[in-house]
A and B are shown apart, each in its own frame.
Chain A
Amino acid sequence: MEELQAFFDAYQTTIGFIGINAILALSVWLTLYTGQLTLGNAAFMGIAAYGSALLTLKAGFPFPLALLCGALLAAAISLPLGATVFRLRGVYLAIATLAFGEVVRVAILAIPITGRGQGLVGIPPKTELWHIFASLLVITYVCARLRISSVGRAWSAIREDEVAAASQGIPVRRYKLAAFVLGALIAGWAGGIAAHFNFAIQPDEYGFARAVQILVFAIVGGIPNVIGPIMGAVVLTALPAVLQPLQEYRDILQGAILVIVIVYAPRGLATLLDVRRAARLRHVGAQDVA
């Protein structure tokens, strides 16, 4: 028992970030499952991180309320953004959302109350590990159930063929937007939790690198189901800690593992759980992300 406690103490940060990253991976999974490549979730995370941290730090909001307000702020901003950028598809959509992330980063640097380049320090560390994993549980459940509902089916249809989806009466734009806004809400929740898990936040944490990292979690894990993104986040977050003893060889091995996964499970780790279905889908050339 004591050993377990010691393990938790030593790896608390890593364990916490496994959960936070899993939530982030699920946030981008929603749009990926709809066949849309968006890279705005790091920015939504940042918006909510700053929003909620400022509320607890400067306005004395209770922690849960600050989290909620941060996430809702991110979702509120995602709505007009989504309505604008979903005229675009594929790589153009990705670039547009990435550009939005850059705007957010620069905006944070420009506004004095955010502490600009220094970031915010002294954020009350309200986040407990159980907050993270309870959130992950609820979000996983909601995503998994949505996936098998009529909404999930409509998202699949849009991913497979937008023209045919519209012909079935599916309001394609609205469904894309719903996935995007829900993703922003979830990313925002993760951002608030992450900000209160750390002592400090900085604008650079929510830039290009983070946007790509979130995408990589979901892609390496696989998007056919909700387990994929979680697997991706767990493996890729735990790997650096697990490989710690290798010291300078760590990054080499980590890169090699990533390459092997992408080559042998190109549709993600989750496809290893159902190899036959994955093979059938590959055989018919089904859509991943448009």
Chain B
Amino acid sequence: MSPELLQIGALTKRFGGVVAVNAVDLSVGEGQVFGLIGPNGAGKTTLINLISGHFRADGGTIRFGGTDVTRLRPHELAKRGIARTFQSIRLFKGLTVLENVLLGRYVRSRSDVLASLVPFRAVGSIERDASRAILDRFGLGARADALAAELSYGDQRRLEIARALASEPRLLILDEPAAGMNATESVALSGMLRELAVGGLTIILIEHDVRLVMGACERVAVLNFGRKIAEGGPAEIQADPVVREAYLGSGDDA
């Protein structure tokens, strides 16, 4: 058993009267690709927003790399190695593709403020080289100077992942990365995920595309109405009657 990188205990988030995430326990091992599935409104994205610090938990704890990070803010968590993408792509649209990746490297690069004030000195050339290398790896090298918003939808998704990986994270959280992708793009994404997993990166994958999840993940948790209703290997989950009911509804409704 790999050591646990992320441990979530009794995590709870309420919005008014709605309990979006209800006492969820999860643990994700180092190097694991962990799938998170569930019907719309099950609380998947809320759970991710709690882990990445965009929401404050109302109860429960989050431990990352052995320390309590429950109350840390997004930028502090990014610094500790949690990188994420968003369900509705959040690129810096008016900036270039290269600048987006440079910003992804923010936590890895030293401040060049003082250096930048020295006349005629080139600024940030090392970071530029590193960022170009990342773009090349993602097949976006030729579009480095395009504005992020000028990319095709699939390329925007890829750029967002490239930006997240630029920070050399310990945990990568992907919120529906295949949403809106066509079949070819989805297959390419699946290949990329496998490649990252082989490299030893820990990944949490939220996805509706069940084939993608079952193909890529070693372990899968199922959320419904804010509660974890099942967890196990892909085959186990697919066979689970509770999960089938959550997705398809019970026979009585028909």
Contact = CB atoms under 8 A, between A and B. Distances in A.
Number of contact residues on A: which range applies?
20 to 34
Contacts of B106: 150, 154, 168-170
A31 to B, nearest CB: 17
Interface string A179-201: 00000000000000000000000
Interface stretch (B94-102, B189-197, B204-212): B94-102
Contacts of B117: 142, 145-146
B113 A150 contact: yes
A157 interface: yes
Interface stretch (B60-68, B85-93, B220-228): B85-93
Nearest to B110: A150
A167 B123 CA distance: 23
Given A163-B90, A287-B94, A153 B147 contact: no
A160 B78 CA distance: 18
B107 interface: yes
A164 interface: yes
B125 to A, nearest CB: 12
Interface in A160-182: 160-161, 163-172
A171 B99 CA distance: 18
Contact of A164 (B92, B109, B147): B92
A151 B110 CA distance: 11
B94 A149 contact: no
A242 interface: no
B198 to A, nearest CB: 25
Contacts, number: 106
B149 A286 contact: yes
A170 B113 CA distance: 15
Given A148-B116, A154-B103, A164-B92, A284 B83 contact: no
Q: Determine the main DSSP class of A at the interface with B.
A: helix
B170 interface: no
B107 A168 contact: yes
Contact of B93 (A165, A166, A285): A285
B252 interface: no
Contacts of B44: none
B74 A166 contact: yes
B112 interface: yes
B149 A285 contact: yes
B12 interface: no
Contacts of B116: 145-146, 148-151
B84 interface: yes
Contacts of A151: 111, 113, 116
B92 A161 contact: yes
Interface string B55-73: 0000000000000000001
A166 B123 contact: no
Interface string A54-84: 0000000000000000000000000000000
Contacts of A38: none
A248 to B, nearest CB: 43
Interface of A: 142, 145-146, 148-151, 153-154, 156-157, 160-161, 163-172, 280-281, 283-287
Interface of B: 52-54, 73-75, 78-79, 83-84, 86, 90-95, 99, 102-104, 106-107, 109, 111-113, 115-117, 123-124, 147, 149-150, 163, 167
Top 7 A-B pairs, shortest CB-CB distance? A286-B94, A284-B149, A169-B78, A149-B116, A169-B107, A160-B92, A166-B74
